[in-house]
Protein backbone atom coordinates (compact mmCIF):
# COMPACT_ATOMS: atom_id res chain seq x y z
CA UNK A 1 0.00 0.00 0.00
CA UNK A 2 1.11 3.54 -0.66
CA UNK A 3 1.09 6.01 2.19
CA UNK A 4 3.24 8.37 4.24
CA UNK A 5 5.45 5.48 5.37
CA UNK A 6 6.15 4.18 1.85
CA UNK A 7 9.80 3.10 1.73
CA UNK A 8 9.95 2.15 5.42
CA UNK A 9 10.77 -1.47 6.26
CA UNK A 10 9.67 -2.98 9.57
CA UNK A 11 11.06 -6.22 10.99
CA UNK A 12 8.21 -7.44 13.12
CA UNK A 13 8.74 -9.92 15.94
CA UNK A 14 5.42 -9.12 17.62
CA UNK A 15 2.78 -11.68 18.49
CA UNK A 16 -0.93 -11.76 19.46
CA UNK A 17 -2.46 -8.26 19.80
CA UNK A 18 -0.69 -5.11 21.07
CA UNK A 19 2.36 -5.43 18.80
CA UNK A 20 0.59 -6.78 15.71
CA UNK A 21 -2.02 -4.00 16.00
CA UNK A 22 0.82 -1.44 15.95
CA UNK A 23 2.58 -3.02 12.95
CA UNK A 24 -0.75 -3.51 11.12
CA UNK A 25 -1.21 0.27 11.36
CA UNK A 26 2.37 0.78 10.09
CA UNK A 27 1.41 -1.36 7.07
CA UNK A 28 -1.80 0.65 6.63
CA UNK A 29 0.35 3.80 6.51
CA UNK A 30 2.47 2.33 3.72
CA UNK A 31 5.35 0.51 5.45
CA UNK A 32 6.60 -2.91 4.36
CA UNK A 33 6.15 -5.20 7.38
CA UNK A 34 8.13 -8.43 7.50
CA UNK A 35 6.75 -10.66 10.23
CA UNK A 36 9.40 -12.94 11.71
CA UNK A 37 7.77 -16.00 13.25
CA UNK A 38 9.12 -19.05 15.03
CA UNK A 39 9.09 -22.05 12.68
CA UNK A 40 7.24 -24.06 15.33
CA UNK A 41 3.72 -22.83 14.56
CA UNK A 42 4.44 -19.10 14.32
CA UNK A 43 2.41 -16.42 16.07
CA UNK A 44 0.28 -18.05 18.81
CA UNK A 45 -2.74 -16.16 17.55
CA UNK A 46 -2.79 -18.35 14.41
CA UNK A 47 -4.61 -20.78 16.75
CA UNK A 48 -7.07 -18.25 18.24
CA UNK A 49 -10.82 -18.53 17.68
CA UNK A 50 -12.94 -17.65 15.82
CA UNK A 51 -11.94 -19.41 12.58
CA UNK A 52 -12.84 -18.39 9.03
CA UNK A 53 -12.37 -21.02 6.32
CA UNK A 54 -9.98 -22.87 8.62
CA UNK A 55 -7.88 -19.84 9.53
CA UNK A 56 -7.95 -17.68 12.65
CA UNK A 57 -10.00 -14.55 11.95
CA UNK A 58 -8.09 -12.97 14.81
CA UNK A 59 -4.76 -13.55 13.07
CA UNK A 60 -6.18 -12.65 9.65
CA UNK A 61 -7.40 -9.25 10.87
CA UNK A 62 -4.27 -8.19 12.68
CA UNK A 63 -1.74 -9.40 10.13
CA UNK A 64 -3.23 -8.40 6.80
CA UNK A 65 -0.77 -6.82 4.42
CA UNK A 66 2.29 -8.29 6.17
CA UNK A 67 4.89 -10.75 4.84
CA UNK A 68 6.04 -13.78 6.85
CA UNK A 69 9.41 -15.45 7.25
CA UNK A 70 9.98 -18.28 9.74
CA UNK A 71 13.24 -17.97 11.66
CA UNK A 72 14.52 -19.81 14.72
CA UNK A 73 16.40 -17.07 16.54
CA UNK A 74 18.34 -19.68 18.53
CA UNK A 75 19.75 -21.18 15.32
CA UNK A 76 22.99 -19.60 14.06
CA UNK A 77 22.09 -19.62 10.36
CA UNK A 78 18.61 -18.21 10.96
CA UNK A 79 20.04 -15.60 13.30
CA UNK A 80 22.36 -14.46 10.51
CA UNK A 81 19.33 -14.04 8.24
CA UNK A 82 17.62 -12.06 10.99
CA UNK A 83 20.64 -9.76 11.39
CA UNK A 84 20.66 -9.28 7.62
CA UNK A 85 17.06 -8.13 7.86
CA UNK A 86 17.86 -5.76 10.72
CA UNK A 87 20.75 -4.24 8.75
CA UNK A 88 18.30 -3.21 6.03
CA UNK A 89 15.40 -2.34 8.31
CA UNK A 90 14.19 1.03 9.55
CA UNK A 91 12.16 -0.31 12.46
CA UNK A 92 12.27 -3.43 14.62
CA UNK A 93 9.15 -4.09 16.69
CA UNK A 94 8.82 -6.68 19.46
CA UNK A 95 6.44 -7.39 22.32
CA UNK A 96 8.36 -10.05 24.24
CA UNK A 97 8.67 -10.10 28.01
CA UNK A 98 11.50 -7.57 28.81
CA UNK A 99 14.93 -9.25 28.70
CA UNK A 100 13.98 -11.82 26.05
CA UNK A 101 15.84 -10.09 23.23
CA UNK A 102 18.93 -9.71 25.43
CA UNK A 103 18.86 -13.45 26.20
CA UNK A 104 18.82 -14.11 22.47
CA UNK A 105 21.84 -11.82 22.10
CA UNK A 106 19.63 -9.40 20.16
CA UNK A 107 19.08 -6.56 22.61
CA UNK A 108 18.91 -2.95 21.45
CA UNK A 109 22.43 -2.17 22.65
CA UNK A 110 23.81 -4.88 20.37
CA UNK A 111 21.54 -4.21 17.40
CA UNK A 112 22.33 -0.53 17.31
CA UNK A 113 26.01 -1.34 16.87
CA UNK A 114 25.20 -3.09 13.60
CA UNK A 115 22.46 -0.63 12.57
CA UNK A 116 22.75 2.80 14.22
CA UNK A 117 19.72 4.06 12.26
CA UNK A 118 17.46 1.35 13.73
CA UNK A 119 14.31 2.37 15.57
CA UNK A 120 13.76 -0.37 18.13
CA UNK A 121 10.17 -0.40 19.38
CA UNK A 122 9.13 -2.53 22.35
CA UNK A 123 5.64 -2.96 23.76
CA UNK A 124 5.29 -4.88 27.00
CA UNK A 125 2.82 -5.15 29.85
CA UNK A 126 4.78 -3.06 32.34
CA UNK A 127 7.71 -1.62 30.36
CA UNK A 128 11.46 -2.28 30.36
CA UNK A 129 12.10 -0.54 33.70
CA UNK A 130 10.59 -0.63 37.19
CA UNK A 131 9.91 -3.38 39.75
CA UNK A 132 7.08 -5.08 37.82
CA UNK A 133 8.87 -5.25 34.48
CA UNK A 134 9.05 -9.05 34.37
CA UNK A 135 5.52 -9.78 35.55
CA UNK A 136 3.14 -11.39 33.07
CA UNK A 137 0.47 -9.06 31.73
CA UNK A 138 -2.63 -9.39 29.64
CA UNK A 139 -5.16 -6.82 28.55
CA UNK A 140 -7.50 -7.75 31.42
CA UNK A 141 -4.67 -7.39 33.93
CA UNK A 142 -3.69 -3.87 32.85
CA UNK A 143 -7.34 -2.78 32.66
CA UNK A 144 -7.68 -3.99 36.28
CA UNK A 145 -4.39 -2.58 37.63
CA UNK A 146 -4.64 0.75 35.84
CA UNK A 147 -8.05 1.57 37.30
CA UNK A 148 -10.19 1.66 34.15
CA UNK A 149 -12.34 -1.23 35.41
CA UNK A 150 -13.07 0.63 38.65
CA UNK A 151 -14.74 3.48 36.74
CA UNK A 152 -16.54 1.35 34.13
CA UNK A 153 -19.98 -0.17 34.75
CA UNK A 154 -23.41 0.70 36.00
CA UNK A 155 -23.52 2.40 39.44
CA UNK A 156 -23.20 -0.30 42.10
CA UNK A 157 -22.17 -2.97 39.56
CA UNK A 158 -18.91 -4.90 39.94
CA UNK A 159 -15.83 -3.36 38.29
CA UNK A 160 -16.21 -3.97 34.57
CA UNK A 161 -13.73 -4.09 31.71
CA UNK A 162 -14.23 -2.14 28.51
CA UNK A 163 -15.68 -4.53 25.92
CA UNK A 164 -12.63 -4.35 23.70
CA UNK A 165 -8.94 -4.93 24.48
CA UNK A 166 -8.27 -1.30 25.14
CA UNK A 167 -5.12 -2.13 27.14
CA UNK A 168 -3.47 -3.84 24.20
CA UNK A 169 -4.78 -1.43 21.60
CA UNK A 170 -3.80 1.83 23.29
CA UNK A 171 -0.37 0.30 24.00
CA UNK A 172 -0.12 -0.37 20.27
CA UNK A 173 -1.27 3.15 19.38
CA UNK A 174 1.16 4.93 21.69
CA UNK A 175 3.95 2.80 20.23
CA UNK A 176 2.80 3.60 16.69
CA UNK A 177 2.93 7.34 17.41
CA UNK A 178 6.37 6.93 19.00
CA UNK A 179 7.77 4.99 16.03
CA UNK A 180 6.51 7.60 13.57
CA UNK A 181 7.99 10.43 15.66
CA UNK A 182 11.31 8.57 15.80
CA UNK A 183 11.26 8.09 12.01
CA UNK A 184 10.83 11.85 11.63
CA UNK A 185 13.65 12.55 14.07
CA UNK A 186 15.94 10.11 12.26
CA UNK A 187 15.51 12.00 9.00
CA UNK A 188 17.00 15.01 10.75
CA UNK A 189 19.66 13.38 12.97
CA UNK A 190 20.51 10.21 11.08
CA UNK A 191 20.17 8.25 14.31
CA UNK A 192 17.72 5.64 15.51
CA UNK A 193 16.39 5.24 19.04
CA UNK A 194 14.53 2.86 21.32
CA UNK A 195 10.83 3.29 22.11
CA UNK A 196 9.63 1.53 25.27
CA UNK A 197 5.86 1.46 25.71
CA UNK A 198 4.10 -0.23 28.62
CA UNK A 199 0.45 -1.21 28.35
CA UNK A 200 -0.04 -0.18 31.99
CA UNK A 201 1.41 3.28 31.29
CA UNK A 202 -1.05 3.62 28.43
CA UNK A 203 -3.91 2.85 30.80
CA UNK A 204 -2.83 5.65 33.13
CA UNK A 205 -2.48 8.03 30.20
CA UNK A 206 -6.08 7.50 29.03
CA UNK A 207 -7.79 7.94 32.40
CA UNK A 208 -8.23 11.75 32.02
CA UNK A 209 -11.34 12.80 33.96
CA UNK A 210 -11.01 10.12 36.66
CA UNK A 211 -7.47 11.23 37.53
CA UNK A 212 -8.44 14.90 37.48
CA UNK A 213 -11.38 14.31 39.77
CA UNK A 214 -9.31 12.28 42.23
CA UNK A 215 -6.37 14.74 42.13
CA UNK A 216 -8.60 17.74 42.86
CA UNK A 217 -11.13 16.32 45.33
CA UNK A 218 -9.40 13.30 46.86
CA UNK A 219 -12.64 11.38 46.28
CA UNK A 220 -12.05 8.03 44.57
CA UNK A 221 -14.28 7.86 41.47
CA UNK A 222 -16.54 4.86 40.93
CA UNK A 223 -18.59 3.65 37.98
CA UNK A 224 -21.24 6.13 36.78
CA UNK A 225 -22.95 4.05 34.13
CA UNK A 226 -23.44 6.23 31.08
CA UNK A 227 -23.82 9.48 32.98
CA UNK A 228 -21.52 12.45 32.32
CA UNK A 229 -19.76 13.54 35.53
CA UNK A 230 -20.45 17.25 35.06
CA UNK A 231 -23.11 17.80 32.37
CA UNK A 232 -26.83 16.94 32.54
CA UNK A 233 -28.84 15.59 30.89
CA UNK A 234 -26.05 13.67 29.13
CA UNK A 235 -26.57 9.90 29.28
CA UNK A 236 -28.77 7.02 28.09
CA UNK A 237 -32.55 7.04 28.54
CA UNK A 238 -35.08 4.24 28.17
CA UNK A 239 -37.93 4.59 25.67
CA UNK A 240 -40.89 2.30 24.97
CA UNK A 241 -38.51 -0.23 23.41
CA UNK A 242 -34.77 0.41 23.77
CA UNK A 243 -32.40 2.96 25.24
CA UNK A 244 -31.17 6.03 23.36
CA UNK A 245 -28.45 8.60 24.03
CA UNK A 246 -29.26 12.27 24.58
CA UNK A 247 -26.46 14.79 25.14
CA UNK A 248 -27.40 18.32 26.20
CA UNK A 249 -24.40 20.61 26.45
CA UNK A 250 -26.15 23.94 27.18
CA UNK A 251 -29.40 25.62 28.24
CA UNK A 252 -30.52 26.41 24.71
CA UNK A 253 -30.29 22.74 23.74
CA UNK A 254 -32.17 21.87 26.92
CA UNK A 255 -35.03 24.14 25.87
CA UNK A 256 -35.10 22.45 22.47
CA UNK A 257 -35.20 19.04 24.14
CA UNK A 258 -38.14 20.04 26.37
CA UNK A 259 -39.96 21.39 23.33
CA UNK A 260 -39.38 18.17 21.36
CA UNK A 261 -40.68 16.15 24.30
CA UNK A 262 -43.84 18.28 24.37
CA UNK A 263 -42.92 19.46 27.89
CA UNK A 264 -41.68 23.06 27.33
CA UNK A 265 -42.48 23.94 30.94
CA UNK A 266 -39.64 21.67 32.15
CA UNK A 267 -37.12 24.19 30.84
CA UNK A 268 -38.55 26.79 33.22
CA UNK A 269 -38.69 24.45 36.22
CA UNK A 270 -36.32 25.94 38.85
CA UNK A 271 -34.84 22.45 39.39
CA UNK A 272 -33.70 22.31 35.78
CA UNK A 273 -32.89 25.90 34.82
CA UNK A 274 -29.11 25.60 34.72
CA UNK A 275 -26.61 22.80 34.23
CA UNK A 276 -25.70 23.11 37.91
CA UNK A 277 -29.30 22.74 39.08
CA UNK A 278 -29.87 19.91 36.62
CA UNK A 279 -26.87 18.08 38.11
CA UNK A 280 -28.24 18.55 41.63
CA UNK A 281 -31.65 17.21 40.57
CA UNK A 282 -30.35 14.67 38.09
CA UNK A 283 -32.54 11.76 39.18
CA UNK A 284 -35.72 13.83 39.08
CA UNK A 285 -34.63 15.10 35.67
CA UNK A 286 -34.08 11.59 34.34
CA UNK A 287 -37.47 10.50 35.66
CA UNK A 288 -39.22 13.46 34.04
CA UNK A 289 -37.59 12.76 30.67
CA UNK A 290 -38.21 9.01 30.74
CA UNK A 291 -41.83 9.58 31.82
CA UNK A 292 -42.32 11.08 28.35
CA UNK A 293 -39.97 8.81 26.37
CA UNK A 294 -41.59 5.61 27.64
CA UNK A 295 -44.74 6.19 25.56
CA UNK A 296 -43.09 5.87 22.16
CA UNK A 297 -40.29 3.74 20.67
CA UNK A 298 -36.67 4.83 20.13
CA UNK A 299 -37.18 5.29 16.38
CA UNK A 300 -39.89 7.90 16.98
CA UNK A 301 -37.86 9.89 19.47
CA UNK A 302 -34.67 9.83 17.43
CA UNK A 303 -36.54 11.34 14.49
CA UNK A 304 -38.13 14.03 16.67
CA UNK A 305 -34.87 14.88 18.39
CA UNK A 306 -32.94 15.10 15.15
CA UNK A 307 -35.58 17.45 13.72
CA UNK A 308 -35.21 19.57 16.85
CA UNK A 309 -31.41 19.64 16.49
CA UNK A 310 -30.87 17.83 19.77
CA UNK A 311 -27.71 15.66 19.85
CA UNK A 312 -28.98 12.10 20.19
CA UNK A 313 -28.43 8.63 18.76
CA UNK A 314 -29.34 4.98 19.06
CA UNK A 315 -27.11 2.54 20.95
CA UNK A 316 -25.95 0.36 18.10
CA UNK A 317 -25.03 -3.27 18.29
CA UNK A 318 -22.12 -4.43 16.14
CA UNK A 319 -24.35 -5.30 13.19
CA UNK A 320 -26.05 -1.87 13.25
CA UNK A 321 -22.73 -0.13 13.62
CA UNK A 322 -21.03 -1.87 10.70
CA UNK A 323 -24.10 -1.26 8.50
CA UNK A 324 -24.10 2.52 9.19
CA UNK A 325 -23.96 4.61 6.01
CA UNK A 326 -21.19 6.74 7.51
CA UNK A 327 -19.04 3.69 8.29
CA UNK A 328 -19.48 2.54 4.68
CA UNK A 329 -18.87 6.00 3.24
CA UNK A 330 -15.65 6.30 5.25
CA UNK A 331 -14.39 2.97 3.94
CA UNK A 332 -14.12 1.65 7.49
CA UNK A 333 -14.76 -1.94 6.45
CA UNK A 334 -12.21 -3.65 4.25
CA UNK A 335 -11.75 -7.19 3.08
CA UNK A 336 -8.69 -9.42 3.21
CA UNK A 337 -8.68 -13.10 2.32
CA UNK A 338 -12.48 -12.99 2.03
CA UNK A 339 -13.00 -11.75 5.61
CA UNK A 340 -14.47 -8.35 6.52
CA UNK A 341 -12.46 -6.32 9.03
CA UNK A 342 -12.06 -2.72 10.26
CA UNK A 343 -10.33 -0.32 7.88
CA UNK A 344 -7.83 2.48 8.48
CA UNK A 345 -9.10 5.48 10.47
CA UNK A 346 -6.12 7.66 9.48
CA UNK A 347 -7.24 9.29 6.24
CA UNK A 348 -4.35 11.01 4.45
CA UNK A 349 -5.09 13.29 1.51
CA UNK A 350 -3.62 12.09 -1.75
CA UNK A 351 -3.51 8.47 -0.58
CA UNK A 352 -5.97 6.40 -2.56
CA UNK A 353 -8.32 4.39 -0.37
CA UNK A 354 -8.88 0.77 -1.29
CA UNK A 355 -11.41 -1.67 0.12
CA UNK A 356 -9.21 -4.75 -0.07
CA UNK A 357 -5.98 -5.67 1.62
CA UNK A 358 -3.42 -8.38 0.92
CA UNK A 359 -4.41 -11.31 3.14
CA UNK A 360 -2.43 -12.19 6.26
CA UNK A 361 0.48 -14.44 5.29
CA UNK A 362 0.82 -18.17 5.73
CA UNK A 363 3.70 -19.05 8.05
CA UNK A 364 6.94 -18.49 6.07
CA UNK A 365 4.97 -17.62 2.94
CA UNK A 366 7.59 -15.07 1.89
CA UNK A 367 10.61 -16.76 3.49
CA UNK A 368 12.30 -17.96 0.31
CA UNK A 369 11.85 -14.64 -1.48
CA UNK A 370 13.13 -12.61 1.47
CA UNK A 371 16.20 -14.86 1.79
CA UNK A 372 16.86 -14.37 -1.92
CA UNK A 373 16.59 -10.59 -1.55
CA UNK A 374 19.15 -10.68 1.24
CA UNK A 375 21.57 -12.90 -0.68
CA UNK A 376 21.40 -10.51 -3.63
CA UNK A 377 22.92 -7.87 -1.33
Among 1, 29, 34, 261, binds its own copies (CB under 8 A): 29
What minimum distance in Å lies between the beta carbon of 240 and its own copies? 15
Among 71, 106, 149, 285, binds its own copies (CB under 8 A): 149
Whether a cis peptide bond, with omega within 30° of 0, leads into 50 is: yes
What minimum distance in Å lies between the beta carbon of 70 and its own copies? 22
- Measured from the CB atom, the residue of 22 and 81 that comes closer to its own copies is 22
Contact 266, 288 (CB under 8 A): yes
Among 110, 141, 267, 336, binds its own copies (CB under 8 A): 141
Asked if residue 347 binds its own copies (CB under 8 A), the reply is yes
CA 248, 249, 250, 252 dihedral sign is negative
Contact 218, 130 (CB under 8 A): no
Contact 18, 199 (CB under 8 A): yes
Q: Is 228 a catalytic residue?
A: yes
Contact 313, 226 (CB under 8 A): no
For the segment 41-70, give every residue that binds its own copies (CB under 8 A): 48-52, 57-58, 61-62
Name the H helices within 45-131: 57-62, 76-88, 100-103, 108-114
What minimum distance in Å lies between the beta carbon of 298 and its own copies? 12
For the segment 318-337, give every residue that binds its own copies (CB under 8 A): 318-322, 324-327, 329-330, 332-333
Tell me how long the chain is.
377
What minimum distance in Å lies between the beta carbon of 371 and its own copies? 28
Among 89, 118, 282, 341, binds its own copies (CB under 8 A): 341
Asked if residue 352 binds its own copies (CB under 8 A), the reply is no
- Measured from the CB atom, the residue of 76 and 318 that comes closer to its own copies is 318
Q: CB under 8 A: which stretch of 66-74, 78-86, 216-224, 281-289 binds its own copies?
A: 216-224
Cα 314 from chain centroid (whole Å) = 23
Q: For the chain, how far is it from start to end, CA to CA, in angstroms? A: 24
For the segment 77-116, give every residue that binds its own copies (CB under 8 A): 108
Among 40, 187, 265, 283, binds its own copies (CB under 8 A): 187
Asked if residue 165 binds its own copies (CB under 8 A), the reply is yes
Q: CB under 8 A: which stretch of 80-88, 224-232, 287-295, 358-366 binds its own copies?
A: 224-232
DSSP symbol at 180: H
Asked if residue 344 binds its own copies (CB under 8 A), the reply is yes
Catalytic residue among 228, 295, 300, 366: 228
Whether a cis peptide bond, with omega within 30° of 0, leads into 233 is: yes
Angstrom distance (rounded) from CA 128 to CA 105: 16
What minimum distance in Å lies between the beta carbon of 112 and its own copies? 9
- DSSP, residue by residue, 218-285: -PPP---TT--SS-SSEEEE--SSS-EEEE--SHHHHHHHHHHTT-GGGGG-GGGSSHHHHHHTHHHH
Asked if residue 205 binds its own copies (CB under 8 A), the reply is yes
Phi and psi angles of residue 338, each rounded to the nearest 5 degrees, phi first: 90, -10
For the segment 231-270, give every residue that binds its own copies (CB under 8 A): 234-236, 243, 245, 247, 249
CA 187, 20, 322, 202 dihedral sign is negative
What minimum distance in Å lies between the beta carbon of 200 and its own copies? 6
- Measured from the CB atom, the residue of 133 and 371 that comes closer to its own copies is 133
Asked if residue 216 binds its own copies (CB under 8 A), the reply is yes
Helix (H) or strand (E) holding 371: helix 367-375
What minimum distance in Å lies between the beta carbon of 261 and its own copies? 18
Q: Hey, which residues are catalytic here?
A: 228
Amino acid sequence: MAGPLTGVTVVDLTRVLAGPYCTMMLAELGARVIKVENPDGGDDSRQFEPFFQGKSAYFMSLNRGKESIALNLKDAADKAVFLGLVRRADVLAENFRPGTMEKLGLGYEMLKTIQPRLIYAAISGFGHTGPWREKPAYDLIVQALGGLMSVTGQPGSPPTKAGTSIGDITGGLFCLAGINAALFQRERTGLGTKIDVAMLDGQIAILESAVMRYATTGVIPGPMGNRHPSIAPFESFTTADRAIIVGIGNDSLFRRLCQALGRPELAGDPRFQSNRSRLVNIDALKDAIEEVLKHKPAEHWLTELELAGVPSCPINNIADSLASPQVRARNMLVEAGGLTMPGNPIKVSGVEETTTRRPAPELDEHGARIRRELSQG
